Structure 1
Amino acid sequence: MKSIPNMSFALFLALFMLTAMSQAATTDDATTSDVQTPPAEAVKQNTQDLLKSLKAYGADQREEAVEATKAALDAADKRIDALQTRLDDNWDSMSEAAREKAQASMKALRKQRTQVAEWYGSLKTSSDSAWDEMKEGFSQAYQALAEAWDDAVKTFDSEK
């Protein structure tokens, strides 16, 4: 009964990530310029947890794996939206060079998110024989997304 613990972990992970994202997207007051993004360490830890969990899923546990990855992608989308809001809110105070760097980082981040979505689609529909390959591809793409996130946040924070 290996799927019960994995399913419980996946649900825990999904709830943790969604909770972290909802807390990160809230503001301390009514202004949108205070939108916060989660700390880089939290994103790294969530990424490591997801990828570790994903490795444990066999092809017979595809549904649980897809649920966990979907929750992670939803959380990533919220992080990206929060970062875009920060960029938009600070646009007027940024130099032209800072704007260009920030836009390039956001473009790279969104491109990587699209690649993860493609692997997610492959993961959902893969055959049992291709399952391990799809998990590995998704894991690599998701790790690259986490790195692109880190780069985008560093670029934005250094240019504020």
Structure 2
Amino acid sequence: MKNYRLITALTAVMLLCFGGLMQASAEDVSAKDVKQETKELLETLKGYSAEQKDEAVKKTQKALKAFDERMERLENRIDEEWESMDQSARKNARAVQRELRRQRLKVAEWYGSLKNSSVLAWDHMKEGFSKSYQSLSDAWEDASNEFD
């Protein structure tokens, strides 16, 4: 039941984010774009050796910044549409925000570990970060697929 509510909440928020309640702008990014960017980042990261850690960290930092900007736009849209939402939609929107923040925090923890990892721990940290980032990306994709 909890997963169903989460999917419903993600769906409501994705409708706000990707469903066009507001005019689309050049900075809007579709779930398909997010999926492709995630795939590219994770494939690129997979190819980096421990000796290339600095470059890998720069790439992941750039991807995290882009995701954070999307999250901020999403939160702004929720705030702008708040008055037109019913109580259930408000509750769902806040639940989705909490869940995405929780997942984003996990990604941040793995990013810190990746950034500070030793040569011996590099592969483990890459794998952990990649799984965590993929989970965060999947949450966006799952919700947006409700509207395709």
TM-score w.r.t. length of structure 2: 0.78
Partner of residue 73, structure 1: 64
2:138 corresponding residue in structure 1: 147
CA distance in structure 2 between the aligned counterparts of 1:80 and 1:149, rounded to whole angstroms: 10
1:51 to 26, 42, 50: 42
* 1:67-106 matched pairs, under 5 angstroms: 67-106=58-97
Give ranges in structure 1 of 5+ residues lacking alignment: 1-32
Structure 2 counterpart of 1:119, from 110, 114, 117: 110
* TM-score, length of structure 1 as denominator length: 0.72
- 1:108-132, Cα deviation, whole Å (9 max, x unpaired): 0011111100000000111101100
2:36 & 2:66 partners in 1: Cα distance? 13
- What is the alpha-carbon root mean square deviation over aligned residues? 1.8
Where has structure 1 moved over 6 Å in runs of 4 or more?
A: none
Q: 1:108 aligns with which of 99, 108, 112?
A: 99
Bigger shift: residues 70-79 or 140-149: 140-149
Q: Kindly indicate whether structure 1 or structure 2 has the higher relative contact order, using CA contacts under 8 Å at least 6 residues apart.
A: 2
Q: Count residues with an aligned counterpart.
A: 124
Gaps of 5+ in 2: 1-21
Residues 106 and 152, structure 1, Cα contact 8 Å, conserved in 2:
no
Q: In 2, are the aligned partners of 1:109 and 1:152 still within 8 Å (CA)? A: no
Taking every aligned residue pair, what percent have the same amino acid on both sides? 50
Give the superposition deviation at 1:38. 1.2
